[in-house]
Copies of this chain bind each other. A is one copy, B any other.
Amino acid sequence: MTQPKPFRDLCAEHGIAVTHQRQVLYEVMQGMEGHPSPEEVYARVREQIPSISLATVYKNIHLFVESGVLREVSLHHGSIRVEMNDEDHHHMVCSKCKAIADIGEDELGLETKRRMLPGGFLVERFSVDVIGICANCQREAAPSSSTRN
């Protein structure tokens, strides 16, 4: 079992109260792929707690982000996105359809050696958005060579 400290201890560590809403919010987010918006999270949590309010979702997402429980990602998107994936990874953003996919640090083929940058900036982590064209959009954009598609 890899979750001996499910949620109570996370809350304890960060000095926040354990509420039913937070518990469900946390679990729902754990189970969501990709980069859900607050609205999307809200919709899912509602299935379990119909009376929850969007404001509560926002408040707790912020709380979680500030506590380091999860990570905020600012993609080339309009609204806040959040992700639970805590492995080092980055994002491929399709400039045509705006789809976002994760890509592992190693698959990316980036070498991130420096821990200190010019100007004395101390590196915590790298957040890479690879802008490009996803496989689907490449197919659509190549009408002639797609004969064998």
Binding site for B on A (CB under 8 A): 72, 74-77, 92, 94-95, 101, 103, 107-114, 117-135, 138
A63 CB to closest chain B CB, in angstroms?
A: 17
Alpha-carbon distance A124/B137, docked complex (angstroms): 13
Q: Given A72-B76, A76-B72, check contact A121 B132 (CB 8 Å).
A: yes
Q: Which residues of B contact A127 (CB under 8 A)?
A: 76, 128-131
Assembly stoichiometry (copies): 2
Partner of A76, one of B74, B94, B122, B138: B74
Given contacts A74-B74, A74-B75, A74-B77, contact A133 B107 (CB under 8 A): no
Closest to A93 in B: B127
B128 contacts A117, C-beta separation under 8 Å: no
Report the minimal beta-carbon distance from A13 to chain B, rounded to whole angstroms: 19
Establish whether residues A121 and B130, one from each chain, have CB atoms under 8 Å apart when the complex forms.
yes
A128 and B131 in contact, given A111-B111, A117-B92, A120-B138 (Cβ under 8 angstroms) = no
**Partner pick for A131 among B114, B125, B129, CB 8 A cutoff:** B125
* Nearest neighbor of A134 in chain B, beta-carbon distance: B121
Chain B residue at minimum C-beta to C-beta distance from A141:
B122
**Closest CB of chain B to A115's CB: distance in Å?**
9
